[in-house]
Amino acid sequence: MMVPVRFEWQIMKVKIIITPKKAVLDPQGQAVLNALEHMGYDGVKDVHVGRFLELELSGDKASMESRIEEACHRFLSNPVIEDYRVEWEE
């Protein structure tokens, strides 16, 4: 059987993980923590509920890195309440 040729190697993926700042009240995280405790999952100290974004890029890391950082800071996260982490897919 012939495997169709795919050109996905051209697509660069970057993952962005946005979490509430530690100082900010995180009612969702609290609710999940309480639920875990109720369900008997001991040993969980804290929960932070954030957002996960996956961006598909047409360029490479070198050309896009600073612009992605900027987008995270300006738009994708709100620096008043959130931290973000960018993970480039190898």
Partner 1 sequence: MTQVDTETELSTISDQGNASKFSFGVLQFPGSNSDQDCVNAIEVLGHEAHYVWHKEESLGHLDAVLVPGGFSYGDYLRAGAIARFSPVMRALADFAENGGLVLGVCNGFQILCEAGLLPGALILNRSLQFRSEFVHLSTVNSGTPFTKAIPADQLMRVPIAHGEGCYFADGSTLNEMESHGQILWKYATAQGDLEDHANPNGSVHGIAGVCNKAGNVAALMPHPERACQEAIGSADGQWIFRSLIEHLKDAK
Residues that bind partner 1 (CB under 8 A): 20, 23-25, 27-28, 31, 75-76, 78, 80-81
Q: What is the smallest separation between the CB atom of 8 and partner 1, expressed in angstroms? A: 26
Query: Per the structure block, which two tokens stand in for 66?
Result: 């600073």
Nearer to partner 1, 61 or 85 (CB): 85
Taking the complex as a whole, the smallest distance from the CB of residue 31 to partner 1 amounts, in Å, to: 6
Please, what is the minimum distance in Å from the beta carbon of residue 86 to partner 1? 16
- Picking from 73, 11, 90, the residue whose alpha carbon sits closest to that of residue 82 is 73
For partner 1, the closer CB: 11 or 25: 25
Alpha helices in 2-80, H assignment, sequence order: 27-38, 61-71
**Residue number, 11 or 35, with CB nearest to partner 1:** 35
Round to whole Å and give the CA distance between 58 and 53: 16
The percent of the chain in helix, strand and coil, each rounded to the nearest 5, is: 35, 25, 40
